[in-house]
A and B are shown apart, each in its own frame.
Chain A
Amino acid sequence: MQELDRFHEEAGARGVADPREAGHARHTHPSAKEYVRIGMILVVLTGIEVWISYSGLPHGLMITLLFFFAFVKFALVVLWFMHLRFDDARYSRFFIMGFAGACILFLVVLLLFKAFA
């Protein structure tokens, strides 16, 4: 195994040493067209969300739907634009730790206050 050459401090190369990464980089990149398609879907979803907010649906249903669509948009951007779907699973693990942590913080703190008031 080759030594760690520290000359290129902070250079941040693509990790070509790992052929799996290189393979992913070359073959499973979405094309520009696919990205545009994702972009269109995001636009449509946003439009639906705005419509829902004006729609006068019952409050509980509205919130559920809005959270649902927000989550779908969130996932589309993270998985495709941020490339997590095609990248090494370890990046996802770290991101999910943070994201799950934030969700749990949100739920528990709000629960503590409702249980309270």
Chain B
Amino acid sequence: MATAASVPAHRGIIRRPTATTGWLSWFTTIDHKKIGILYGVSAFAFFLVGGAEALLIRAQLAKPDNTLLNADQYNQIFTMHGLTMIFLFVMPMSAAFFNYFIPLMIGARDVAFPRLNAFSYWLFLFGGLFLYSSWFLGGAPNGGWFGYPPNSTTDPSIGMTFYAIGLILTGIASSAGAINLAVTVINMRAPGMTFFRMPVFVWMGLVVQFLLAFSLPIVTVALFEMLFDRRWQTNFFEPAAGGKPLLWQNLFWLFAHPEVYILILPAFGIISEILPVFSRKPLFGYQFVVFSGIAIGFIGFGVWAHHMFAVGLGPVANTAFGITTAIIAVPTGIKIFNWMGTMYGGDLHFDTPMLMAVGAVSMFVIGGLSGVTHAVVPSDYQQTDTYYVVAHFHYVLFGGAVFGLFGGIYYWWPKVFARMLNEFWGKVQFWIMLIGFNLTFGPMHILGLGGMIRREYTYPASLGLTFWNQVATVGAFLIALSVLIFIVNAIVTQLRKPGLENEDPWDARTLEWTTSSPPPVYNFEEIPVVHALDEFWHRKYAEDKEGRLIRVPAGASDDAPDTHREHAIHLPSPSFWPLVAALGLPVIGYGVLYSWWLVGAGALLAIVGFIGWAMEPPVAD
């Protein structure tokens, strides 16, 4: 291990930066909190783009035989909408929360591999930009986010090649982040923070990292196979050569099903933090919530072919996957009951974070119910490829994940930015968003069962689908209004001077609230020693004989904060090598599209980046 004494003082290739303030520091930061903010801002920007794409879809579908978008444009818009919302919004926004709060919640100073953390962020950003550059370079991906061959492998536009490469890039970013965060949770907990004293948010984070680590390699193989088919006319999915398009479907869904749990578990974690705080009660059935999260992770790998019930797998396979799909509803249901149990008998405060969390749970339940109907194979035969499915996944993804993420945004905004978002306008956003959301996606159940096929750029008037489509379009614009309200709220809030009257505004339970707002770069003056679940709560409150809470004056409680002296807090210096290394990869991507020279240049850049990274001293000289 490197110490000042045992490694001769040396320089890397170029002097390692030291500044932690200033605009340049954002490019060299390896601080998990700044990286969390970078993820959050980038994810939100992509959310707006994905939302604009959604509005275009709804505008096109507001009337039958509409000509706002032609079929080719529509295909690109709905494909990019899906890709953006999944890979460039929900996942990175979850990463924002994991990055910012996991180290704080476990009492650590940073993640296990801070430079690797920066590398993951930059590669995600470059991957997203790479994907979007396709609009300007011949056309965006147009084969749906699911990219089924032979359509995707034979489409003459360049878009699906951008799809394959872009998702490989973002996949590498997420894989690196998964290993980083998993090791962080396993290895960097504060003294006394056993696994079963970790906040549920951290547990959900841990499960998500393993889902990522084990599912991403599978889709990476599929994406390379698609890339090779498109770029070098290989035969993976070419039926004339004996290739099987269904291989893609299997490999893709082997990833993409765990992916939906990757999308929802972070929000479940956030909900599990918010509900106890705003019910002023501990989470009901903590261990059940934890174990059900782990169960969802495992079983989530066993249901993928339920996306393929109608392709002709045969009754044995269909039955098996129908059963596993029904089974996975159980641990999810367990969570719902535990959340209800948390609220029951609690001293409920419906501030915006709580509204968002309760909204998320209820909307998710609706989506879960339609999901259960999908598990019944004959029923799914009627629903598949219709708007009923679109309704289902938007209820769980938007209803569950997005409301949950907004809950996290309102809940943790004061911690990150030292200002409170306006509570009145927060509530306004919530209600308009809730109404708009239900107006948009509720009718889609009806449209689906009424025969409206998904992924179609228009529909004839004679089908009688017009009315509910119009309702859905109105709903979508209401959602947009609610997001606009949020943006104004955020901007006005940030224009105020930072500084919280109360640094624990929600009277919260977990360790991140023990620091100043925002936390100092090293997080904790002294690493806390943890004695219990909800450690922070126990430092503030004891209970009297009747179980009522008594506020403990600082230091007087039985569990006085037990910190231990530190001599000096050493943090690794910032670095620009992660950015350099990450930049090499999209350059290789462009090279695969256009020129072997670019492949070489990108590879060289990446290698130089990695070598510089390996050679630089831990702190600047």
**Closest Cβ–Cβ distance, residue A40 to chain B (whole Å):** 34
- What per-residue 1/0 map shows which CB atoms of A4-43 lie under 8 Å from chain B? 1111111111000000000000000000000000000000
Q: Which residues of B contact A8 (CB under 8 A)?
A: 1-3, 618
- Describe B's contact surface by its main secondary structure: loop
Residues of chain A touching chain B, judged by Cβ–Cβ distance below 8 Å, are: 1, 3-13, 97-98, 101, 105, 109, 112-113, 115-116
Q: Given A8-B618, A11-B2, 5 more contacts at CB 8 Å? A: A3-B566, A4-B109, A6-B571, A113-B246, A116-B314
Q: What number of A-B contacts does a CB cutoff of 8 Å give?
A: 75
Q: Which chain B residues in 567-621 approach chain A with CB under 8 Å? A: 569-572, 618-619
Q: Contacts A3-B564, A115-B317; is A9 near B254 (CB within 8 Å)?
A: no
**Closest Cβ–Cβ distance, residue B186 to chain A (whole Å):** 8
Q: Which residues of B contact A6 (CB under 8 A)?
A: 109-110, 569-572
Q: Is the beta-carbon distance between B316 and A115 smaller than 8 angstroms? A: yes
Q: Which residues of B contact A11 (CB under 8 A)?
A: 1-2, 618
Say yes or no: is B129 at the interface (Cβ < 8 Å to chain A).
no
Q: Is the beta-carbon distance between A105 and B110 smaller than 8 angstroms? A: no
How many chain B residues touch the partner (CB < 8 A)? 41
Say yes or no: is B527 at the interface (Cβ < 8 Å to chain A).
yes
Q: Which chain B residues in 160-205 approach chain A with CB under 8 Å? A: 188, 190-191
**Closest Cβ–Cβ distance, residue A95 to chain B (whole Å):** 12
**Closest Cβ–Cβ distance, residue B546 to chain A (whole Å):** 36
Residues of chain B touching chain A, judged by Cβ–Cβ distance below 8 Å, are: 1-3, 108-110, 112-116, 188, 190-191, 210, 214, 218, 244, 246-247, 250-251, 254, 301, 305, 312-314, 316-317, 526-527, 529, 564, 566, 569-572, 618-619
Which residue of B has the minimal Cβ distance to A5? Answer: B570
Assembled-state Cα–Cα distance A3/B192 (Å): 12
Q: Which residues of B contact A13 (CB under 8 A)?
A: 1
**Closest Cβ–Cβ distance, residue A60 to chain B (whole Å):** 23
Select one of B218, B305, B316 contacting A105, CB under 8 A: B218
Q: Is the beta-carbon distance between A112 and B305 smaller than 8 angstroms? A: yes
Q: Is the beta-carbon distance between B317 and A112 smaller than 8 angstroms? A: yes
Assembled-state Cα–Cα distance A91/B619 (Å): 30
Q: Is the beta-carbon distance between A1 and B191 smaller than 8 angstroms? A: yes
Which residue of B has the minimal Cβ distance to A13? Answer: B1
Q: Is the beta-carbon distance between B250 and A109 smaller than 8 angstroms? A: yes
Q: Is the beta-carbon distance between A12 and B570 smaller than 8 angstroms? A: no
**Closest Cβ–Cβ distance, residue B117 to chain A (whole Å):** 11
Assembled-state Cα–Cα distance A115/B244 (Å): 14
For A12, A13, A97, A109, which residue has the most chain B Cβ atoms within 10 angstroms? A109
Q: Which residues of B contact A7 (CB under 8 A)?
A: 570-572, 618-619
**Closest Cβ–Cβ distance, residue B258 to chain A (whole Å):** 11
Q: Which residues of A contact B526 (CB under 8 A)?
A: 3
Assembled-state Cα–Cα distance A48/B314 (Å): 41
Q: Which residues of A contact B116 (CB under 8 A)?
A: 10
Which residue of B has the minimal Cβ distance to A98? Answer: B214
Q: List 27 A-B contacts (CB under 8 A).
A: A3-B191, A3-B526, A3-B566, A4-B188, A4-B527, A5-B570, A6-B109, A6-B571, A6-B572, A7-B570, A7-B618, A9-B618, A10-B112, A10-B116, A10-B618, A11-B618, A98-B214, A105-B254, A109-B250, A109-B251, A112-B250, A112-B305, A112-B317, A115-B313, A116-B246, A116-B312, A116-B313
Q: Is the beta-carbon distance between A10 and B115 smaller than 8 angstroms? A: yes
